[in-house]
A and B are shown apart, each in its own frame.
Chain A
């Protein structure tokens, strides 16, 4: 006999149906542990047909939703959120988030919405997205249901962010500058000493060697101005001189 648990939000209901591995569950066990998933359903207000699937689908759904939520919060690119998966979320614009669901191999119970090969695309508003995230988080918090699936949160490393990439871009002119300095030094080495008796002053090096140096000052960089959107202006202007 399977056990069903549901996590209800105004725009999303998540239903997990499973089995308990325990051979003896006491009569007084109000909430037995579900350790095996038989079926999962995700009912969204944004669409009439629920998303249905097994373990692979469900695991992919909760992972994709959780990672996308973090990306949404910080506006920092999460490489994990963009890996090809059974379930993916993509940003359409500030208020539209596209849930894309590939068919599981068994493919049962899925009706194609707008695509013939069983791939489903559902657009969610931000509030609807939140309800989906919250349903998933309530599932994660329920330690009596598939406890091996739990909330895993880690901040994204700086090397994956655009500021990390910008640091790389700025380092390139620095290396070019340093190389040209080296070349200039070598070139000057071969310049013949003038014949006049007065001492030779070393020639001033070109200032281009400092072109790549990161500007570090008291104020934020002036590089990013009116075209920045509010959330990534913070990224770009605030920790550029870290």
Chain B
């Protein structure tokens, strides 16, 4: 198990339910890093004060040894290759687990909002009404687009490919659906395992 230079301490129990995937490296593949950052972005678009909430929850769940402070969190999230501030720093499995746990706890707090938005999306889509006509949905989509554009590197082809409003809205809604699954009884395990689909031997 990879640990940083701090003395060996027992890992928080809360991470125990997330098994280590059978990947060659002991750090996270690119898709995993990107997915985690983007789903946190979706949470920030749902709820104002996102990064404060993440840090506060890290404290509450006794994960502050892993997610130490705002800068540390930002560095972890910048392992997303799409970011302007992308660094080649690896994202360790423990860090990824901590972020996934936090994602799911935050998602659970937002269960009602997530369901309401998805039900609204469903109804509007069925009736072919433009999504902007639902205020809450349109706020979420607008905030997601704004966060995405301010943080992601516009020169990367992966970003160019989805930089239209339409494609970003599709991504935002897809992430919202994943967040719904994160609220479930087995949401944390499901989301965690899904991050390594197609990455293991």
Chain A positions near chain B (C-beta within 8 angstroms): 69-70, 72-74, 76, 78, 94-95, 125-127, 130, 133-134, 137-138, 140-141, 151, 153-158, 160-161, 163-164, 219-222, 224-226, 228-231, 233-235, 237-239, 242
Contacts and interface: CB of A to CB of B under 8 A. Distances in A.
A226 B160 CA distance: 8
Interface stretch (B4-12, B26-34, B71-79): B26-34
A14 to B, nearest CB: 13
Most buried by B among A73, A133, A138, A219: A73
Q: What 10 A-B pairs are tightest by C-beta distance, nearest first?
A: A161-B198, A73-B194, A74-B197, A230-B171, A76-B197, A155-B196, A74-B194, A237-B158, A137-B186, A137-B185
B186 A151 contact: yes
27 contacts: A69-B190, A73-B191, A73-B197, A74-B194, A76-B194, A76-B197, A78-B197, A126-B118, A127-B115, A127-B118, A127-B119, A127-B180, A130-B184, A133-B181, A133-B184, A155-B193, A155-B196, A219-B155, A220-B158, A221-B157, A222-B157, A224-B161, A225-B160, A228-B161, A231-B174, A234-B31, A239-B30
A73 B199 contact: no
B14 interface: no
Contacts of A164: 198
Interface in B142-201: 155-158, 160-162, 167-168, 170-171, 174, 177-178, 180-181, 184-186, 189-191, 193-201
Dominant secondary structure at the B interface: helix
A219 B198 contact: no
A164 B200 CA distance: 11
A129 to B, nearest CB: 9
A161 B157 contact: no
B70 interface: no
B35 interface: yes
A30 to B, nearest CB: 21
Given A164-B198, A230-B174, A238 B122 contact: no
A238 B184 contact: no
Contacts of A155: 21-22, 193-200
A134 B115 CA distance: 13
A154 B180 CA distance: 20
B167 A230 contact: yes
B147 to A, nearest CB: 15
A229 B171 CA distance: 9
A19 B184 CA distance: 28
Interface in B110-143: 115, 118-119, 122, 125
A225 B29 contact: no
Contacts, number: 132
Contacts of B160: 225
Contacts of B118: 126-127
Contacts of A225: 157, 160-161
A221 B160 CA distance: 12
A226 B81 CA distance: 19
Contact of A153 (B29, B190, B199): B190
Contacts of A154: 193
B161 A237 contact: yes
A153 B157 contact: no
Given A74-B197, A137-B186, A153-B190, A95 B30 contact: no
B156 A235 contact: no
B81 A220 contact: yes
Given A73-B190, A220-B157, A233-B158, 16 more contacts: A76-B198, A126-B180, A133-B181, A141-B185, A151-B189, A153-B193, A156-B200, A158-B198, A163-B198, A220-B156, A225-B161, A228-B162, A230-B168, A233-B162, A237-B157, A239-B31
Contact of B171 (A130, A158, A231): A231
Most buried by A among B118, B162, B167: B162
Contact of A238 (B30, B119, B196): B30
A186 B75 CA distance: 54
A237 B156 CA distance: 10
